[in-house]
Amino acid sequence: METVVCKFGGTSVANAAQVAKVGEIVRGDPRRRIVVVSAPGKRHSGDRKITDLLFLCHQLAANDVDFSAPFEVIANRFQHMAAQLGVDGIADESLAELRGGIAAGQSEDWVASRGEHLSARILAAHLGARFIETADLLGIDLHGLPTAESYARLATALAGDDVCVVPGYYGVGPDGGVKVFSRGGSDITGAVVARAVNAAVYENWTDVSGFMMADPRIVPHARPMREVTYAELRELSYMGASVLHDEAIFPVREAGIPIHIKNTNATEDPGTLVTATRDHTRNPVVGVAGKATFTVICLAKALMNKEIGFGRRLLGILETHGINWEHTPTGIDSMSVVISDEELGDQADELTQQMRMELQPDYLAVDRDLALISVVGLGMSHQVGIAGRCFGALARSKVNVRMISQGVNELSIIVGTSRADFEAAVRALYDAFVSGGE
Ligand code: ASP
């Protein structure tokens, strides 16, 4: 029989009632043999995630401050959950070990990983399933990426036909101690496990019915995507449309395993299927995403086009400051670099000083008023008229376009506008391609 790996996020295991739903979902399909689980997340908007509380405990202990208040919140949540699910006592030993570990100065990663550990132990007991300890199976390298050896080790441990529960987010680091992925990393664990067992599909269960075609805070009538390709999803996630951890795509993409985003609280909803290709004839565009927080540094210099190495030196300055840039629009004697505000931080003055000194530009300006919006879709490639529709819609909404970028793969058109026009631009682009579509 085919194997389905299903990963449940923090809100799907936030309390006993949610865990009971997870149980029903897993039992609802015999192919769902491997279950990867996050730590309990928020039960309501004002709530705290278990992982955040664990980081807090570690920080307090590291500063010799009493950590019992947040620890009690954690312990109560797990104990209450276990009791309500009829698996009382299952968390006690791990909780005692956790308290002792925090007090004894265990590493931050070890402490942070315990949310997933306890969550998986409780779910395994609830399902009558096998708990799999990933601390000696899933290797995480110095860059926080899964190691190649992990796959064979996981495949061996997960062999059989019984249901297995795997804690997400953590594994073993290069020094042999517990190491965690970046935040939200249980998605990566799910992808690695799916690839290790060559799953038919990687189901990622969350609290939304798939990827929205635009941010619903800006476009309230936005619909979920039924299908999207891995490559389209990459384009959208770089613009901040994230339901799934960025790095979770790669392990399954290489193996051609589809990812199915599903809603634990609305199991009948079709969700979003992420695959290698899709039929894009009806929906050339899958989504519109963007961020209003970019800065552009613009340099001009007479005869820049003859100055070989100008671009390299400009980007080299960014590199030495550890800054990741997004785009480099150019004219014959001008070059700009677009950088997200998060990346730039407070380094603008230092950077421009160095650029003035090393590049001797005739003109240099920093413009902090840039928003970028990306219209993404496989159907744009080799299709006449998509860009026309895009810019026509922006013009009708009186949005001034300040920058345009389209890669040769024609997967997306990126437009830059002033921050004040950001929301109007997203709405105009969404309506131009999506309303009346699908
Ligand atoms: N619990 C971890 C976090 O909150 C990892 C995860 O949920 O995927 O970031």
57 and 157 in a single domain? The answer is yes
Whole-number Å distance, alpha carbon 234 to ligand 1 midpoint, is 20
Establish whether residue 39 lines the binding site of ligand 1, counting it when its CB lies within 6 angstroms of any ligand atom: yes
Establish whether residue 80 lines the binding site of ligand 1, counting it when its CB lies within 6 angstroms of any ligand atom: no
Helix/strand number for the chain, H first, E second: 14, 15
The per-residue DSSP string of 42-81 comes to: -SSTT---HHHHHHHHHHHHHTT---HHHHHHHHHHHHHH
Q: Give the CATH number for residue 119.
A: 3.40.1160.10
Look at residue 284 and tell me whether its pLDDT is greater than 70.
Answer: yes
pLDDT of residue 438: 40
Domain boundary (158, 177, 207) is at: 207
In-domain check, residue 180: yes
In tens, the pLDDT along 173-228 reads 999 999 999 999 999 999 999 999 999 999 999 999 999 999 989 999 999 999 99
pTM to 2 decimal places: 0.88
In-domain check, residue 266: no
Could you give the percent of the chain with pLDDT greater than 70? 98
Atom of ligand 1 minimally distant from the CA of 187: 8
Task: Please report which confidence band the pLDDT of residue 121 belongs to, taking 50, 70 and 90 as the band edges.
Answer: very high
Whole-number Å distance, alpha carbon 20 to ligand 1 midpoint, is 20
Task: Please report which confidence band the pLDDT of residue 406 belongs to, taking 50, 70 and 90 as the band edges.
Answer: confident
Whole-number Å distance, alpha carbon 41 to ligand 1 midpoint, is 8
pLDDT of residue 316: 97
pLDDT of residue 381: 73
Nearest to 80 by CA among 71, 89, 68: 89
Residue 57's domain spans which residues? 4-207
Establish whether residue 245 lines the binding site of ligand 1, counting it when its CB lies within 6 angstroms of any ligand atom: no
In-domain check, residue 280: no
Residue to probe by mutation, ligand 1, list 42, 116, 178, 189, most atoms within 8 Å of CB: 116
167 and 66 in a single domain? The answer is yes
Domain boundary (207, 241, 265) is at: 207
Whole-number Å distance, alpha carbon 185 to ligand 1 midpoint, is 6
In tens, the pLDDT along 83-117 reads 999 998 899 999 999 999 999 999 999 999 999 99
In-domain check, residue 275: no
Q: Give the CATH number for residue 329.
A: 3.30.2130.10
21 and 148 in a single domain? The answer is yes
pLDDT of residue 52: 98
Establish whether residue 184 lines the binding site of ligand 1, counting it when its CB lies within 6 angstroms of any ligand atom: yes
Look at residue 282 and tell me whether its pLDDT is greater than 90.
Answer: no
Whole-number Å distance, alpha carbon 320 to ligand 1 midpoint, is 31
Looking at the structure of the chain, the number of domains it has is: 2
User: What is the distance, to the nearest Å, from the Cα of residue 250 to the centroid of all Cα atoms in its chain?
Assistant: 12
- Using only C-alpha atoms, the chain has a radius of gyration, in whole angstroms, of 24
Atom of ligand 1 minimally distant from the CA of 185: 8
Establish whether residue 117 lines the binding site of ligand 1, counting it when its CB lies within 6 angstroms of any ligand atom: no
Domain boundary (168, 191, 207) is at: 207
Atom of ligand 1 minimally distant from the CA of 38: 7
In-domain check, residue 370: yes
Angle subtended by helix axes 108-127 and 16-27, to nearest 10: 60
Establish whether residue 361 lines the binding site of ligand 1, counting it when its CB lies within 6 angstroms of any ligand atom: no
In-domain check, residue 263: no
In tens, the pLDDT along 316-330 reads 999 999 999 999 999
Whole-number Å distance, alpha carbon 314 to ligand 1 midpoint, is 37
Whole-number Å distance, alpha carbon 58 to ligand 1 midpoint, is 16
**85 within 8 A of 16, measured Cβ to Cβ:** yes
Give the helix/strand (H/E) hosting 164.
Answer: strand 164-167
Whole-number Å distance, alpha carbon 10 to ligand 1 midpoint, is 7
